[in-house]
Structure 1
Amino acid sequence: MPKLALVRHGQSEWNLQNRFTGWWDADLTEKGEAEAKKSGELLKACDADFRAAFTSVQTRAIRTLWLALTEMGRVWLPVTKHWRLNERHYGGLTGLDKAETAAKHGDDQVHIWRRSYDIPPPPLEAGSEFDLASDPRYKGIDIPNTESLKLTLERVLPYWEEAITPVLKSGTDVVIAAHGNSLRALVKHLFDVADESITGIEIPTGNPLYIELDDNLKPISVRYLDADRGKPLPELP
């Protein structure tokens, strides 16, 4: 039975500044680096034999994985990076201070943009300072200009099924270092979480969500490796 660890990246510079980040490439803070190392310590101590790792193409997730693998003594693991594991695109909210945005648009509207399942924020304008059209890592990719969690799931799921599922079905234990919303999308899929309930699932930074799967990749157990920093867990399907 394979094991799967979902690791949300450590605190980023824009997390610290309380800004909407999305696809923008904010790096880890010193605290974020410490959280990434702690996640590696926790993963090393668990009963899995991790043999493959996946991450996004965003620096904060990649560096979280590097630091964790270093602590695990597993820098030799094959690592696959893909943009489909990127954070949800926050559209026109990208770069904005969350508190200032709430003051301007109202707490209720910002809550809808942040936590609703299928209502995306306003789109990012082409040519904006946060437009990633010229970023070489996205060459040839149809970059979204905004995403809801539903849209995030729709672009994460094909990669899960095509690239990650076969590895798990071979019996290999896998670690995925990604982002709050791309990981929530996977949790929704794995645990069959209802649309109205997924907003209550939040994965803390640097605290691996450890899932044991059966041979059909159905979860049979789930826990946070650092129980003291855990959030509400999804119910087993």
Structure 2
Amino acid sequence: MIQSFVSRILHHFALPLSGQYWNEVISLHSTLFITIGSMAFFQFLYLGTLSIRTFTRVMVNVMWGASAHSLLLLFKKHPMSNVLERNSSIQAFFLKVFVGYIFADVMYYSIHRVLHWKYFYRRIHRLHHETQQSGPLTALDVHPLEYVFAQMSTELVSAWVVGATLPELCFLSSVAKVFAMYSHSRSDGKAWISVMEHEAHHRDGRHNFGVTGMMDWAFGTIK
């Protein structure tokens, strides 16, 4: 009964629009808009550090992500998410989100290291490192190409690899965004990789490339 209730709630966010492609694009990016908008409200209300410039650039990136997602579906000719099954369990839901998030972190770590190569850093990633680390939304204040390939694509591909349904894709992408924003929150709390550790990455650019710390530990780049 509980599983059925949760499934109905999650399926509610997969807006029943005509066309499975547009359903996926609109559902995912409207969910991200709400998630990011909520964090922006928190940053403005409690930290008082949200600038119009940062908010505008982040919202533009969300639109770039939606556009890139649409183009991907146009060429792929198949949604990135699977059809929601009636008998799906809440355990399977969270397992796929967990595995998908770990896979996304593996991809993000790899792309992030490439972005620190001189050619890509000067043209793309430097924009993020030169931005003042003022709060959660700084995580998404990046070059549009970085948002599309390092953030959005890793979430979409990981969801596709684990066979995620649309609600699972929306939840997975939202979780990824929340953890990324948390790492830029200037908090003294601890997550899988602390805010202080990510600030160390911004200082020297040679450590702490991932989000969970798993890949940094495996490759000796954790600090």
Between 1 and 2, higher relative CO (CA 8 Å, sep ≥ 6) is seen in 1
Q: TM-score, normalised by structure 2?
A: 0.35
Higher share of residues assigned helix: 2
Higher share of residues assigned strand: 1
